[in-house]
Amino acid sequence: MARKPETQLQNTPVDVISAVKFSPKMNKFLLVSSWDTTVRLYDVASNTLRQKFIHSSPVLDCAFLNSTKTISGSLDNVVKLYDLNANVESTLGSHNAGVKCVEYSAKLNAILTGSWDRTVKLWDVREKDCVGTYEQSNGKVYSMSSIDEKLVVATSERKVLIWDLRKMDSYIERRESSLKYQTRAVRCFPNKEGYVMSSIEGRVAVEYFDPNPEVQKKKFAFKCHRAKENDIELIYPVNAISFHSVYNTFATGGSDGYVNIWDGFNKKRLCQFHLYDSSISSLCFSDDGSTLAIACSYMDEAENAPQPPPQPTLYVRYVNEQETRPK
């Protein structure tokens, strides 16, 4: 029997879904964090909720360290580790304000956390110890992404900071965002050449690390997640970005309820999926690129809020080559 292209997961969070992350090398396990204070582990193959952990306040991000250990950060400033096999949780440490971003660097076997306290912290996984706190006066951490030794941090003041994880005492470059409005998401290209960032004003920018003027000429920004209604242009925040690890194409999710797939090198939209239940709050491709997790959450952005607001929903879409491969 043919598999449906898309499955809606059961037992989903009851408040905004802040992040969805697939397990490395294990495409059937999906980690989900939410403003309802939970971190949930799903087996998407059997559509079952496997485990649920609870913070004392909304969880803003989560990540896998490997197939059996995860990390999450919350509004109560705390960073928590979970051992999925032993079903044990422990506190790694804390920031002085909400923990907005958590990342795992396999290259360094280190955990990275970014906070609204304007710091980035580096943690040793083995020692469960903070190796360093890196303050930067460029605003709260809104989004961050790492690839090998590079770390890209996007802040509330439209700054983009690029660090070398092997030498964190100071960032190697500070850039002004090429987007005029507040940053929502930043993600590094799997091929390590650059990063993509999005804003609240329906725009996405494709940027390159190499400072060579010839390479910098290739950077560009484009409009997306917009609609016309009665001759008025409606502009929606672009909340989520996720890269296809094989093709270097990427998905964007907006508050218009749509997911688009883009070929950033050829400046093309490859496809658009159907209209979802509400704003797309998070996206994640599986490691092999076969599956895309799509989180829908009402994010209080409409002037006339629906009553009651729609419940969060979570979909797993089995994507095909026509949708994700550059033409």
pLDDT-derived band at 169, boundaries 50, 70, 90 = confident
Question: What pLDDT shows up at residue 3?
Answer: 63
pLDDT (tens digit per residue) in 228-245: 888 899 999 999 999 999
For residue 55, what is the DSSP state? -
Question: What pLDDT shows up at residue 129?
Answer: 86
pLDDT (tens digit per residue) in 97-126: 999 999 999 988 999 999 999 999 999 988
Distance CA 127, CA 120 (A): 18
Question: What pLDDT shows up at residue 1?
Answer: 47
Q: Give yes or no for a contact between 326 and 270, defined as CB atoms under 8 angstroms apart.
A: yes
Distance CA 102, CA 303 (A): 31
Question: Which of 109-113, 125-129, 202-206, 282-286 has the weakest average pLDDT?
Answer: 125-129
Q: Which domains does the chain have, with CATH numbers?
A: 67-323 (2.130.10.10)
**Three-state secondary structure call for residue 293:** strand
Question: What pLDDT shows up at residue 230?
Answer: 87
Taking residues 82-89, what's their average pLDDT? 94
Q: How many CA atoms lie within 13 A of 301 on its CB side?
A: 20
Which two tokens mark 94?
Answer: 């804390």
The residues, any chain, with a CB within 8 Å of residue 246's CB and separated by 6 or more, are 288, 289
Distance CA 256, CA 225 (A): 6
Question: What pLDDT shows up at residue 310?
Answer: 83
What is the β-pairing status of strands 183-188 and 110-115? unpaired
Taking residues 76-89, what's their average pLDDT? 95
Per DSSP, the residues of 256-287 read TS-EEEEETTTTEEEEE----SS-EEEEEE-T
Which amino acid, one-letter code, is at 15?
Answer: D
Structure-token match 């650059």, residue found: 194
